């Protein structure tokens, strides 16, 4: 559980640091640092794909996950929830609510559902090593500073669902039978 805690803490701390020191961060740094973090993530992801022993399972999982997300309108639900939070917050500054909501949706998707975090949580669950999540923590700290500087400390709230998702993935890998048993019980209660 060390990896998800460190990763989420780095994101929250980065957004607070960014919000506090926003006036000292030049615009050119705000625009170039997310691109650099994206390039690093892309490079790490490419190297991990080459090491994947069961690549067809990865492809199938990605396709099934995308289909489930589209069938249940997960993006629309996320967009609605973020818009509600933004209207309560009323701290949109010079950016309109639609644009701000789109930025937050992108950030939630990147921080919570990025392949580096999910693979890192699975890696920690299987092997107990936190290397990938610690690397992601450094990237999230830097990204949190930049996005906190431009969007405010509210970016740190994303650390809560991030922790829950990463911890959930790690738990499912460590306790697959218990995790699926609980899921079946929940589905039975719903129907």
Summarised one tens digit per residue, pLDDT across range 52-105 is 666 677 677 778 878 888 888 888 888 888 888 777 766 545 456 778 888 888
User: Among 174, 41, 57, which Cα is nearest to 116's?
Assistant: 41
Report the distance separating Cα 83 and Cα 22, nearest Å.
Answer: 24
DSSP 8-state class, residue 95: S
pLDDT per residue over 173-191, tens digit each?
766 655 555 655 666 666 5
What confidence category does residue 120 fall into, taking pLDDT thresholds of 50, 70 and 90? confident
Is the overall model pTM greater than 0.85, yes or no?
no
Report the distance separating Cα 9 and Cα 160, nearest Å.
Answer: 9
Helix (H) or strand (E) holding 94: none
Q: Please check whether residue 130 is in contact with residue 2, taking contact to mean a CB–CB distance below 8 angstroms.
A: yes
What confidence category does residue 41 fall into, taking pLDDT thresholds of 50, 70 and 90? confident
Mean pLDDT of the chain: 82
pLDDT score recorded for residue 93 = 53
Give me the half-sphere count of Cα atoms (radius 13 Å) on the Cβ side of residue 143. 27
Q: In the chain, what's the furthest Cα-to-Cα distance?
A: 54
pLDDT per residue over 129-162, tens digit each?
899 899 999 999 999 999 999 889 999 999 999 9
**Residue 82 token pair:** 């973020």
């Amino acid at each position: 559980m060390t990896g998800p805690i460190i990763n989420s803490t780095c994101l929250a701390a980065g957004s607070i640091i960014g919000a506090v020191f926003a006036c000292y961060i030049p615009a050119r740094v705000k625009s170039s640092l997310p691109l650099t973090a994206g390039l690093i993530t892309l490079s790490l992801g490419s190297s991990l794909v080459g090491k994947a022993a069961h690549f067809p399972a990865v492809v199938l999982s990605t396709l099934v996950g995308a289909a489930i997300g589209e069938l249940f309108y997960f993006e629309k639900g996320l967009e609605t929830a973020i818009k509600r939070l933004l209207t309560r917050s009323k701290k949109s500054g010079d950016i309109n609510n639609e644009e701000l909501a789109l930025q937050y949706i992108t950030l939630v998707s990147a921080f919570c559902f990025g392949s580096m975090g999910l693979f890192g949580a699975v890696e920690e669950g299987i092997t107990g090593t936190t290397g990938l999540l610690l690397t992601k923590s450094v990237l999230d700290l830097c990204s949190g500073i930049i996005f906190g500087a431009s969007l405010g400390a509210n970016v740190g709230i994303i650390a809560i669902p991030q922790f829950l998702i990463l911890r959930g993935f790690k738990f499912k890998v460590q306790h697959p039978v218990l995790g699926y048993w609980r899921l079946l019980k929940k589905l039975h209660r719903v129907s």
